[in-house]
Structure 1
Amino acid sequence: MTELISSGLVRGLGIGSTYALLAVGFVIIYRATGVINFAQPALMILGAYATSVLATGAGLPFPVAVLAAMAVLAAVGMATERVALRPMVGRQPFAAAMVTVGVLTVLFVVAHRLIGTQVRTVGDPWGLQRAELFGVSVAQVDLAKIVVSMVAIGAVGLFLARSRLGLAMRATSMDQEVALAQGVDVGRMFSLAWGISAALAALAGMLIGTSAGGFEAITALVALKALPVVIVGGLDSIKGAVYAGLLIGVAEALTRLYQPRYAEWLGANVDVVVPYVIMIVVLVVRPYGLFGTREVERV
């Protein structure tokens, strides 16, 4: 029983790490532009497809294929921002968010045409092998999800904290007008934010695609679970996205493990709604999320 619990925790942390990776992409765009990017699921599945084509079709070494797919999706994200979102600068955030819904629809149609109805795989970098972790047998793919996601998020955090471009992005997220007055190319920062977000989505797509079942076009809906994550953690908090992603991933995995045994009367697939239940509970207690910035309006 202890081994079963530990294995479930690691599986939940693996799932949660992927959610966190997607949520950080949401946060980066929101902090830079004030817009929630609903196109993230389509960018994720296109990233999985690009990795599949480059790794299994073109025969590139897997790490090279992943980096190339991230670069391709970064270019797609930057082009999307330039064509669809740049004209919305100065408009209401709600209007810009609706544009991202349109982008989601267009990119999802493209992904469906490319992938079709078949199940694809990005290759077999970790396989179905299991590894021993503190005496507990866990799937290598779960460990890979945790390590790759945390390394990627850490790299983005260092970039934002230490580099000149990262400093410019942070200045833009704090006050666009002041950043513009200080010589920061705000439009370039918007584009960079979309590029980083799309690259992270591609990496998350790769991690989801390495699961035993592979991926298909409809797998893009998995990325919608990043919305409860980013809301629970706080729309403008990268740290909150990480903690909330791990929390929701573990809660989902443990629900899948124990609910059929102790609460079968709830029916099947209860774990699917767990992220949204957690989101509702947190919003009742802390409307700005666990780590979100509380906005104070003076009347």
Structure 2
Amino acid sequence: MTAFLDNVLTGLALGSVYALVALGFVTIFKASGVLNFAHGSLLLLGGYLTAVLHDDLGFAGALALAVLATATVAGAIDRLLLRRGGPDPHAAHVRTIVTIGVDIVLLTDLARRIGGDLLPLGDPWGDSVTRLGPVTVADSRLAALVVCAAAIGAVFALFRYTAWGLSLRAAAEDTEAAALMGIRLARIRTLAWCLAGALAALAAVFLAAFPAPGLERTTGQIALKAFPAAILGGMASPPGALAGSLLIGLTEALVAGYQSELHVLGEGFGDVVPYAVMVLVLLVRPTGLFAARGAARV
């Protein structure tokens, strides 16, 4: 029972971090119809900036600057590379392909800078642990649960109670009608990219924290595990992204925790289980768990 509770806590912590990344995928898709394949590189950029700046600025200062810088870079990608094509649905496919090129450029440069090193992010939790009844949990996992829950709550409040969130939901429902009503689609899209970049930078801190050894050049690939979570929930559904992320996180943690009992599936099954879950769910619900049905009130 203790092992099960430990795996559940680990899964919830992982799922909450995946949710930050998945919300970035969903926000950009809602705003522009683009699948952002550069999201992993943005995550790695945020983590790298935190790692190289924390000695001079402290952890909080480095994280704040990394979040701001990553949001700025993400917004610049939209403004400088993805503005052409207007609301044409075919232009969204071209923009998606462009993000693959952006990912290659960013990842190549960051991988060159990081090399084979493991970079510490200077987080205050270190390798300390806390005992909760029969369960011992890393403080970094508890911090991930608290911080990610607060960030996710703030994002949902942003969607629900701000003019930008209302405009984003209106544009996602009908782009042409939103433009005719005076909504500035370019601004909505750029702000969506900025928000996604900020969330990716925040997620990087917890993906590189204990029990992970630190930030490495492959850390950005973990963002790909959040992609099935976004697909599971219905690509344009923030609640679906949250539910899908928690499902992926719990499944991954339980598979890793009971690897010895599941050895028949292979030692690397934990790495592919997010995609296996995605395929199984999509066989039953091809549009995702929380896909929009019909009209929506905005």
TM-score category, normalised to shorter length: over 0.9
1:162 CA displacement = 1.1
Contact 1:130–1:139 at 8 Å: present in 2 too? Answer: yes
Are 1:224 and 2:224 matched, yes or no?
Answer: yes
Counterpart residue number, 1:75:
72
Contact 1:43–1:202 at 8 Å: present in 2 too? Answer: yes
Instruction: Give the counterpart letter for 1:220 in structure 2.
Output: G
Instruction: Give the counterpart letter for 1:83 in structure 2.
Output: L
Counterpart residue number, 2:123:
124
Deviations 1:98-138 (CA, angstroms, capped at 9, x unpaired)? 11111111111121122222111111311111113355221
**In the comparison of the two structures, how many residue pairs are matched?**
292
Contact 1:3–1:137 at 8 Å: present in 2 too? Answer: no
Alpha-carbon distance in structure 1 between the residues aligned to 2:41 and 2:220 = 6
Contact 2:138–2:210 at 8 Å: present in 1 too? Answer: no
> Bigger shift: 215-224 or 131-140?
131-140
Deviations 1:53-82 (CA, angstroms, capped at 9, x unpaired)? 2213x2x23222212111100100000001
Contact 2:59–2:123 at 8 Å: present in 1 too? Answer: no
> Bigger shift: 47-56 or 125-134?
125-134
CA gap 1:91/1:246 in 2 versus in 1, 3 angstroms? closer
What is the TM-score with the length of structure 1 in the denominator? 0.93
SS in 2 for 1:124: coil
Contact 1:288–1:294 at 8 Å: present in 2 too? Answer: no
Equivalent residues in 2 for 1:169-188, closer than 5 Å? 169-188=168-187
> Bigger shift: 163-172 or 71-80?
163-172
Equivalent residues in 2 for 1:84-123, closer than 5 Å? 84-89=81-86, 90=88, 92=90, 93-123=92-122
1:6 CA displacement = 0.8
Equivalent residues in 2 for 1:105-254, closer than 5 Å? 105-212=104-211, 213-254=213-254
Alpha-carbon distance in structure 1 between the residues aligned to 2:27 and 2:20 = 11
1:167 CA displacement = 1.9
Instruction: Give the counterpart letter for 2:232 in structure 1.
Output: V
Contact 2:41–2:103 at 8 Å: present in 1 too? Answer: yes
Counterpart residue number, 1:278:
277
Alpha-carbon distance in structure 1 between the residues aligned to 2:182 and 2:145 = 39
Alpha-carbon distance in structure 2 between the residues aligned to 1:121 and 1:217 = 13
SS in 2 for 1:87: coil
> Bigger shift: 88-97 or 142-151?
88-97
1:217 CA displacement = 1.0
> Bigger shift: 87-96 or 146-155?
87-96
Alpha-carbon distance in structure 2 between the residues aligned to 1:197 and 1:182 = 25
Contact 1:16–1:249 at 8 Å: present in 2 too? Answer: yes
Counterpart residue number, 2:31:
32
In percent, how many aligned pairs have the same letter? Answer: 41
Alpha-carbon distance in structure 2 between the residues aligned to 1:124 and 1:74 = 21
CA gap 1:238/1:40 in 2 versus in 1, 3 angstroms? same
Alpha-carbon distance in structure 2 between the residues aligned to 1:233 and 1:69 = 29
Are 1:290 and 2:261 matched, yes or no?
Answer: no
1:244 CA displacement = 1.0
Alpha-carbon distance in structure 2 between the residues aligned to 1:283 and 1:267 = 23
1:221 CA displacement = 0.9
Counterpart residue number, 2:60:
63
Alpha-carbon distance in structure 1 between the residues aligned to 2:129 and 2:44 = 26
Alpha-carbon distance in structure 2 between the residues aligned to 1:113 and 1:28 = 30
> Bigger shift: 137-146 or 283-292?
137-146
Deviations 1:199-238 (CA, angstroms, capped at 9, x unpaired)? 1011111111223310111121111111111111110111
SS in 1 for 2:82: helix
Deviations 1:8-37 (CA, angstroms, capped at 9, x unpaired)? 111111111111110000000011111111
Alpha-carbon distance in structure 1 between the residues aligned to 2:67 and 2:123 = 18
SS in 2 for 1:122: coil
SS in 1 for 2:137: strand
What is the TM-score with the length of structure 2 in the denominator? 0.93
Contact 2:255–2:262 at 8 Å: present in 1 too? Answer: no
Contact 2:19–2:241 at 8 Å: present in 1 too? Answer: yes
SS in 1 for 2:202: helix
Counterpart residue number, 1:21:
20
SS in 2 for 1:137: strand
